Amino acid sequence: DSGVTQTPKHLITATGQRVTLRCSPRSGDLSVYWYQQSLDQGLQFLIQYYNGEERAKGNILERFSAQQFPDLHSELNLSSLELGDSALYFCASSVLAAGPGGGNYGYTFGSGTRLTVV
Amino acid sequence: GIQVEQSPPDLILQEGANSTLRCNFSDSVNNLQWFHQNPWGQLINLFYIPSGTKQNGRLSATTVATERYSLLYISSSQTTDSGVYFCAVGWDSNYQLIWGAGTKLIIKP
C-alpha cells in the first residue's frame, strides 16, 4: 500500500455520462497530481493542486475538472465522456510544494482508476 | 517540445541476467525520473536523477545531462522486476514531466 488511495478501482460507464474519481493523498502530503495513461502509453499530466489551490495545469480537457478539498482529498470530474477517455487515471501526491515535476522527492502514486467508456 | 525516446521498447530476459535501459531526450533537462509500473499497474518512483549516478540495491541509474541520455541498470534480474520502466523528464522541478513510451521488461524464471 503506497498510502495514496484512489477510488473506485474500476469504472464502466456510457458515452455522454459524467463520473467522479477520488484520491486521498498520503498522510502529510499537500500536493496532489492527476495523470491520464491511455492504453500502452506513457502518462499525460492533467492538473496539480497544492493545499487546496490549483498549482499547475497540463493537457486537461475542458470537459474535465478537479478540486482539492480542505481535508486534502481530491476529485477529478470527467463529463460528456467519449470513447477516447477510456484510460487509467492516476493520482500521485508529494509532501513538498513542488510543481508537476515533483521536485527532488518524486511522487507516490495511487493504484489508479481504470475507466472504460462504452 | 522536448522528445523522450526509450530503448529497447521490449526486453525479455532470463532470471539472473543483467539489463540496461536507455532514455534519450532532445533538450536540456534538469529533472529526470525513472519509474517502474508493475504488471498490476502500480507506479513506483525509482530514481530522481537529473545528473550523476545513484544506486538502490540491484538498481542503479546514470544520467549524462550534457549528452542528453540516462541509463537504468538492473542486475541479477528477478521475476518481480517485470513490468514497464518509464523515463520522465522536465525543465525544472516545477514543470510538468514529459514521459517516454517505456521499456517493457519480461523476466522469465
Interface contact B48-A102, CB threshold 8 A: yes
Average pLDDT score over chain A: 89
Residues of chain A contacting B42 with CB distance shorter than 8 Å: 2, 109, 111-112
- Write the pLDDT tens digit of every residue in A62-107: 999 999 999 999 999 999 999 999 999 999 998 765 555 555 556 7
Q: Which residues of B touch A106 (CB under 8 A)?
A: 33, 45, 48
d(Cα A113, Cα A11) in Å, to the nearest integer?
A: 7
Q: Do B48 and A111 touch (CB under 8 A)?
A: no
Mean pLDDT of B35-53: 90
**CA closest to B96 among chain A residues:** A100
A10 Rama sector, left if φ>0, alpha if ψ -120 to 50, beta otherwise: beta
Question: CB contact, 8 Å: A107 with chain B?
Answer: yes
What confidence category does residue B30 fall into, taking pLDDT thresholds of 50, 70 and 90? Answer: confident
Interchain contact A67–B (C-beta under 8 A): no
SS3 state at A51: coil
A3 — contact with chain B (CB < 8 Å)? no
DSSP state of B65: G
Nearest CA in chain A to B33: A106
DSSP E strands: which ranges in chain B? Answer: 4-7, 10-14, 19-25, 31-37, 43-48, 52-56, 59-64, 69-74, 83-90, 98-99, 103-108
For residue B94, the model assigns a pLDDT of 56
B43 to chain A: closest CA residue: A109
